[in-house]
Homo-oligomer: A and B are copies of this chain.
Amino acid sequence: MKKFINDPEMVVKEELEGVALAHPDLVKVNFDPDFVYRADAPVKGKVGLLSGGGSGHEPMHGGFVGYGMLDAACPGAVFSSPTPDQMLEATKMIDGGAGVLHIVKNYTGDIMNFEMAADLAKAEGINVEAVVIDDDVAVQDSLYTAGRRGVGSTVLAEKVCGAAAELGRSLSEVVDVCIKVKGWGRSMGMALTSCTVPHVGTPTFDLPEDEMEIGVGIHGEPGRKRMELKPADEIVEMLMEPIISDLPYKAGDNVLLFVNGMGGTPPIELYIAYRKAHQICEQHGLNVVRNFIGPYITSLDMAGVSITLLKMDEDLLTLWDHPVLTPGLRWGK
């Protein structure tokens, strides 16, 4: 295992210490239980937004804590769900009196723990709602998931719901925005290489030098098929076809096109992917009104890309363009 780390068991703790040192103006880090939260939390009268999940997908979620996005994020161990006590303490920390929305990716452990935390928080008088994102069209049911996995749309949901909360919308209105993203976002990913969990020390799966995995999950869960390496344009077609043929896109729709790097893929390759994905959108009459290109939901050192399409309406455009100021995403402020 060749990684830029110290002790494999200390990866998350040391990363959080790095975040705390780097961004004290934006976020604070609570240890035991671990969570990252807005430096100015709780924001009185604003709906609080909480997400979380296994570590190894940075900048999601901790890198998206700050003005216009999340109020807190709970990191689990690498590729492991955070615990209910993390989520409960974070929920209490960010409750500004207007309730808290949990944005949850569809993994069985995450859902179970977020549900338990929500119950505990409600027992303490906090109004909590949860939306589960399940946007990965690759497979139905997976290693850690019943139904579809939650992937790239989660980042987009965090952005637009964060803006909605910042604009003073109520908990039910922010929930509506999140449900819209859940309904209108679709994703699919692929891997050129596996990834290695630090405390495991060996690759999560084997992928021969001349093969790739289409439809891979962000923890290396099996995808749709393993096949020999193809040219980038063919790979993009294999990702875009299932996304576009799924609900809810039709010619004339406005979309946000998100080309994501899995962690080990350099920018030059992401733009080659974007080129073809954009062309395919045009061929289908989809207007790419916004795009988002970079490593935003990663899988450690995995080389690969995922593509997310989100249908956009006027409200989502307004929310997407709203200023954001977080360690991992920043504009307009």
| A residues lining the B interface (CB < 8 Å) | 2-7, 11-12, 14-19, 21-22, 55-56, 58-59, 63, 192-193, 209, 212, 229, 231-233, 235, 263-275, 278-279, 291, 293, 295, 298, 300-301, 303-305, 327-328, 330-333
Across the interface, do B301 and A55 meet the contact criterion of CB distance under 8 Å? no
**Cα distance, A295 to B59, chains bound together (Å):** 12
User: 10 closest Cβ contacts across the A-B interface?
Assistant: A18-B271, A18-B275, A263-B266, A58-B267, A4-B269, A6-B231, A18-B274, A15-B271, A21-B278, A264-B264
Across the interface, do B330 and A298 meet the contact criterion of CB distance under 8 Å? no
**Cα distance, A331 to B291, chains bound together (Å):** 17
Interchain residue pairs with CB less than 8 A apart (17): A2-B193, A4-B192, A4-B269, A5-B272, A6-B232, A15-B272, A18-B270, A22-B278, A22-B293, A55-B268, A56-B266, A58-B267, A63-B267, A266-B298, A267-B295, A330-B330, A332-B333
Across the interface, do B267 and A303 meet the contact criterion of CB distance under 8 Å? no
Across the interface, do B4 and A235 meet the contact criterion of CB distance under 8 Å? yes
Across the interface, do A272 and B231 meet the contact criterion of CB distance under 8 Å? no
The answer, among B6, B22, B270, B301, for a CB contact under 8 Å with A264, is B301
Across the interface, do A266 and B278 meet the contact criterion of CB distance under 8 Å? no
Given contacts A4-B192, A19-B271, A330-B331, 8 further A-B contacts (CB under 8 A): A2-B192, A4-B265, A4-B304, A14-B272, A22-B293, A58-B268, A332-B332, A332-B333
Name the residue of chain B whose CB is nearest to the CB of A292: B22
> A232 with B18: in contact, given A301-B264, A303-B264, A332-B333 (CB under 8 Å)?
no
Write out the residue numbers on chain B whose beta carbons fall within 8 Å of the beta carbon of A193. 2
Least distance between A281 CB and chain B CB atoms (Å)? 10
**Cα distance, A147 to B71, chains bound together (Å):** 48
Across the interface, do B268 and A22 meet the contact criterion of CB distance under 8 Å? no
Write out the residue numbers on chain B whose beta carbons fall within 8 Å of the beta carbon of A231. 5-7
Across the interface, do A56 and B268 meet the contact criterion of CB distance under 8 Å? yes
Across the interface, do A301 and B266 meet the contact criterion of CB distance under 8 Å? yes
Write out the residue numbers on chain B whose beta carbons fall within 8 Å of the beta carbon of A267. 58-59, 63, 263, 295, 298, 328
Least distance between A260 CB and chain B CB atoms (Å)? 12
Write out the residue numbers on chain B whose beta carbons fall within 8 Å of the beta carbon of A229. 2
For A233, A267, A268, which residue has the most chain B Cβ atoms within 10 angstroms?
A: A268
Write out the residue numbers on chain B whose beta carbons fall within 8 Å of the beta carbon of A63. 267
Least distance between A212 CB and chain B CB atoms (Å)? 8
Write out the residue numbers on chain B whose beta carbons fall within 8 Å of the beta carbon of A272. 4-6, 11, 14-15, 18
Least distance between A236 CB and chain B CB atoms (Å)? 9
Across the interface, do A295 and B271 meet the contact criterion of CB distance under 8 Å? no
**Cα distance, A263 to B59, chains bound together (Å):** 15
